């Protein structure tokens, strides 16, 4: 269980863009330089974000990327989904069926609720955190993560 390189680096790239002023352009080479990534790889990551409409590209000289919305309106969930297909997935049972056509645990699976519960909380929390939330210092962000997770676990009806 780990964060993939694409998820981690892609999030860092869009965060670099988000830290700039509204509408300010960031180029691939600028972002690559700031993150210590190759220009080629950074380009690939930005393409993924662009296909998800989280950033917009401006081609040609003086071109670059701008955020597709204000940092308050782009959730970490959106970013993660743009960078990795299933995202923690509640479909672990479908993904790992074994050799049997239908998952052996189709009827009653005691592992599924573990992953599903964690996955649901995790996804909900990421959907309730936005890029702007990450502008704060480490302690503040950690506190916000807990707060959003708690919100997921004990929703106010």
Sites of contact with DNA (CB under 7 A): 4-6, 9, 27-29, 37-38, 40-41, 43-44, 46-47, 50, 57-65, 96, 99
Tokens found for residue 40 = 């080629």
Q: Note whether 24 and 140 are within 8 A (CB).
A: no
Rg (Cα) of the chain, in Å, rounded?
18
Rounded to a whole number of angstroms, the minimum distance from the CB of residue 70 to a second copy is 17
Partner from DNA, a second copy, none binding residue 24, C-beta < 5-8 Å depending on class: none
The closest alpha carbon to 10, from 58, 48, 40, belongs to: 48
Residue closer to DNA by CB (options 46, 126) is 46
To which residue do tokens 């990450």 refer? 134
**From 21, 59, 96, 155, residue interacting with a second copy (rule: CB under 8 A):** 96
Q: Residue 24's Cα: distance from chain center in Å?
A: 22
Residue closer to a second copy by CB (options 61, 154) is 154
The CA-based angle 59-65-70, given to 5 degrees, is: 140
Ramachandran sector of residue 62 (left: φ over 0; alpha: ψ -120 to 50; beta: rest): left
Residue closer to DNA by CB (options 50, 112) is 50
Contact positions with a second copy (CB under 8 A) in 115-144: 115-118, 121-122, 125, 129, 134-139, 141-142
Partner from a second copy, DNA, none binding residue 94, C-beta < 5-8 Å depending on class: none
Rounded to a whole number of angstroms, the minimum distance from the CB of residue 155 to DNA is 32
To which residue do tokens 């704060």 refer? 136
């Amino acid at each position: 269980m780990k964060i993939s390189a694409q998820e981690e680096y892609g999030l860092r790239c869009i965060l670099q863009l988000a830290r700039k002023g509204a509408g300010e352009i960031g180029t691939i080479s600028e972002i690559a330089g700031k993150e210590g990534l190759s220009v080629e790889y950074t380009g690939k990551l930005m393409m993924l974000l662009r296909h998800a409409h989280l950033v917009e590209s401006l081609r040609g000289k003086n071109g670059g990327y701008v955020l597709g919305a204000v940092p308050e309106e782009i959730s970490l969930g959106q970013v993660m989904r743009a960078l990795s297909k299933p995202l923690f997935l509640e479909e672990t049972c479908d993904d790992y069926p074994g050799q049997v056509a239908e998952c052996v645990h189709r009827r009653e699976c005691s592992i599924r609720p573990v992953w599903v519960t964690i996955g649901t909380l995790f996804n909900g929390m990421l959907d309730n955190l936005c890029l702007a939330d990450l502008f704060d210092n480490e302690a503040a962000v950690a506190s916000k993560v807990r707060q959003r997770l708690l919100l997921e676990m004990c929703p106010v009806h």
